[in-house]
Structure 1
Amino acid sequence: MKISVIGCGYLGAVHAASLASVGHDVVGVDIDAAKVESLSNGRSPIYEPELPELLRAGLESGRLRFSADMSDVNGATVHFIAVGTPQRLGSSSADLTYVDQAFADLMPYLAEGDIVVGKSTVPVGTAQRHVGNVQERGAHLVWNPEFLREGFAVKDTIEPDRLVYGVADGDEYAVETLNEVYATAIEAGSPVIVSDFATAELVKVAANAFLATKISFINAMAEIAEVTGADVTKLADAIGHDKRIGRKFLNAGVGFGGGCLPKDIRAFTARAEELGRGESVAFLKEVDAINLRRRERVVELVTEELGGSVFQKKVAVLGLAFKPNSDDVRDSPALDVAVRLNGLGANVVATDPQAMQNSRRLHPQLVYGTTEEALADADAVVVVTEWPEYKELDPAEVHRVVRTPIVIDARNCLDADAWADAGWEYAGLGRQVRNGRATS
């Protein structure tokens, strides 16, 4: 099929390349000429495993191209809108400027029978605002939310765990067309759920709200564990065996970040208040508060372990991205911790395998270096992003290069006993401090 993808950021670039990889003829359109040039040369503007290979393969096959000219959507019969919906400045609400502009720019090029597919995460009611204009052109509107996990976005696009289509009543043509777009995934077993617009819009934010709540729940338990002597990791293991609860997303730590969960739960709360049902999701404000509180707790732990002050102490901050396998530092707890420690006068040296360039753009005041440079003569080591290379550090080897063997495990991803046995003072979130034995 001939397909256009409007918006070539994280979502759009992955979606365009993935659709081309399963045989469609795809053009990605974006107003950012530099981004278009980069993608046209096979260079991904983001770090996402497998995406560079998909881009190069699509460009070489001729099934994938990128353009800054909206008229290049001519000839496509399915048009995906995949632009960003950031948090509005000074508000919790989603900024729909890019979504509304994408619809407006697409309208002149729509042909009768075309399908417009919204993939952006939007407040409920957005599709209903646009369906009339789309139908006036003889076209069809579908809302098809994305469920991508950064670091696994290509797999989640090609092999989604579910496909949701929000359609106008009785629009079987739109359903059949999207089934053709996603034929590879459907044949592989991905279930299709057809709903109304409102349900499809709510699915993504409801899923993110649930995940955020689960993460903040275990972090609230970590706060209790710290004052009672309990171990939150063993607590999570125990309750995770209950199949009604499950172990996933029950890892206590510095909390969630990124471009989705924080802004989505805030926008969801704001939209519920607009609808006169703010009390229904009022708990999400506490979910957000617990999440932000964990960042401060990491800073407190570092301060406590360094005797009450971090001033002029060298602190190695391992990790800046909000999660591993990503260079995304939007609302990153890791980067926030580094900035807070720096603001308290610590000599922070921060490092990350992929996110240092993005971090420098946001916070040029920080000192950045390699892992070796960060660890050398450090008074404390803080692991805030659970990259495999940090989890696999040899505590005995690291002990030989730091000044003081203090490690704060802000993700509870290290083997606490192994670090303590190697002579470290280990502190985790919701876990008791393990005092190491002196080593030569």
Structure 2
Amino acid sequence: MRITVIGCGYLGAVHAACMADFGHQVVGIDVDERKVADLAAAKAPFFEPGLPELLTRAMETGRLRFTTDLAEAARPAGDEQPTVHFVCVGTPQRKGEYAADTSYVDAAVTGLLPHLRPGDVVVGKSTVPVGTAARLAEQIKAVQPDVPLIWNPEFLREGHAVDDTQRPDRIVYGLPPEEELAAHGKAALDAVYAIPLDDGVPLITCDHPTAELVKTAANAFLATKISFINAMAEVCEAAGADVTALANAIGHDDRIGPKFLGAGLGFGGGCLPKDIRAFMARAGELGADQALTFLREVDDINMRRRSRMVDMTREALGGSFLGKKVAVLGAAFKPESDDIRDSPALNVAAQIKLQGAEVVVTDPAALENARRVWPELSFEDKIDVTVSGADVVLLLTEWKQYKSLDPTSLAALVRQPHVIDGRNALDPATWRAGGWTYRALGRPRA
């Protein structure tokens, strides 16, 4: 198939490379000249395991190229083969509001309209408020009545995006109401996803609104599950119970399951926080705001975890940050990523810095991004330099290399051997045996 991918950020770059690896002819289009230059040189513009190798492999085949010229989405004159156009641009939270900013999606579709030809297919992958697809479909129909719009939500996990694209756990098509357009669009996407579909990946077909709601509903559920166990962590702290043992016990119930029951600092990143807020905003516009009022508490619980981490750190230091050094392990919002959007780790570090401590942050992948956005913080590449002379060490992103640290050798570098585990990722007994006072969110002091 001939494919264009409009928007080559996190979603688009991975999608373009994976589609080329499937054997399709792919053109990635983005307005950011530097990003396009990096991708054209098979250089990933962000940290994602497996993507650099995939880009190199795809570029060497000649099936993948990148450009800033949207006109290259147009089918060559005389060529009858249809093109499948994927819209993969971002939908950030509007400034000062909960609602999603769909201006990038609108601009992508508007820019694409002059280049559409009969038989082409437009596929939306961006996470949008329900109702967006119907509006965009009308715009497309006014220009090219024979071009269907399919909504095909993505379910990528940062750090696993390549595998999630090539071996997804499900594929969803939101089809238009017109039977002929729906059949044409489905056939085109079946060809695009022939490899995973042949491997038995479940395919769900539905209407536009349902497909739009799938991603936001999934994220709302996951955010709720995370905040639920963090609410239990608050109760455990008050009762002297251990939230990790509690999570293990309830996770054996197959109606609940163990995933997303890791109590700690809570969620961040570019998806869950803004998606649940946009979901609430859209429900309000539809007159269904009462249905999602629980998500406001989900958001509040999540933000309380950050404040609790700051309070716990202050308590470990005797009630004041003044004259103290705090070492922070982790800047990315999650391991295997350099994404610092709404990072709980950096939020905590900045709060502690504002209250008078010297704060030094380290991270295996996210330091360049963190330095650019948080210049008031100090950053260090090496762990031993980061913790040298520290009065407390905070584990705020659960990278593998931090979970495997030797507490005994690390204790020789710090001024005071206090560690606070913001992700419940360390073994308390090992750290206490290594001479540390160990505390964690939702666990007993000793």
* TM, length-normalised to structure 1: 0.98
For residue 153 of structure 1, the aligned residue among 137, 161, 172 is 161
- Where do residues 224-243 of structure 1 align in structure 2 (5 Å cutoff)? 224-243=235-254
- Where do residues 98-109 of structure 1 align in structure 2 (5 Å cutoff)? 98-109=104-115
Q: In structure 1, what is the equivalent of residue 437 of structure 2?
A: 425
Q: Distance in 2 between matches of 1:249 and 1:50?
A: 24
Q: In structure 2, what is the equivalent of residue 398 of structure 1?
A: 410
The aligned length equals 434
Q: Distance in 1 between matches of 2:133 and 2:213?
A: 11
- Where do residues 272-287 of structure 1 align in structure 2 (5 Å cutoff)? 272-287=283-298
Q: In structure 2, what is the equivalent of residue 172 of structure 1?
A: 183
Say whether the 8 Å CA contact 2:384–2:410 is kept in structure 1.
no
Q: Distance in 2 between matches of 1:45 and 1:85?
A: 19
* TM, length-normalised to structure 2: 0.96
Say whether the 8 Å CA contact 2:127–2:216 is kept in structure 1.
yes
- CA deviations over 1:238-269 (Å, ceiling 9, x no partner): 00000000010001000000000000000000
The residue type paired with residue 36 of structure 2 is: V
Say whether the 8 Å CA contact 1:151–1:326 is kept in structure 2.
yes
Q: Distance in 2 between matches of 1:130 and 1:404?
A: 59
- Where do residues 315-334 of structure 1 align in structure 2 (5 Å cutoff)? 315-334=326-345
For residue 292 of structure 1, the aligned residue among 303, 315, 325 is 303
| Unmatched segments (≥5 aa) in structure 2 | 76-81
- Structure 1 runs (4+) deviating above 4 angstroms are none
Q: Distance in 2 between matches of 1:398 and 1:375?
A: 8
Say whether the 8 Å CA contact 1:135–1:141 is kept in structure 2.
no
Q: In structure 2, what is the equivalent of residue 380 of structure 1?
A: 392
Measured after TM superposition, the shift of residue 413 of structure 1 is 0.3
Q: In structure 2, what is the equivalent of residue 110 of structure 1?
A: 116
Q: Tell me whether 1:143 sits opposite 2:151 in the alignment.
A: yes
The residue type paired with residue 436 of structure 2 is: W
Q: Distance in 1 between matches of 2:362 and 2:322?
A: 20
Measured after TM superposition, the shift of residue 399 of structure 1 is 0.9
Q: Distance in 2 between matches of 1:293 and 1:189?
A: 42
Q: Distance in 1 between matches of 2:434 and 2:38?
A: 46
**In terms of mean alpha carbon deviation, does 405-414 or 68-77 score higher?**
68-77
The residue type paired with residue 108 of structure 1 is: P
Superposition RMSD in Å: 0.7
- CA deviations over 1:168-209 (Å, ceiling 9, x no partner): 122111111101100011111210000000000000000000
Q: Distance in 2 between matches of 1:32 and 1:71?
A: 15
Measured after TM superposition, the shift of residue 135 of structure 1 is 2.5
Measured after TM superposition, the shift of residue 103 of structure 1 is 0.4
Q: Distance in 2 between matches of 1:132 and 1:236?
A: 47
Measured after TM superposition, the shift of residue 386 of structure 1 is 0.2
The residue type paired with residue 23 of structure 2 is: G
Say whether the 8 Å CA contact 1:327–1:355 is kept in structure 2.
yes
Where 1:8 maps in the other structure, the secondary structure is coil
For residue 369 of structure 2, the aligned residue among 347, 358, 369 is 358
Q: Percent identity?
A: 57
The residue type paired with residue 374 of structure 2 is: H
Q: Distance in 2 between matches of 1:209 and 1:365?
A: 33
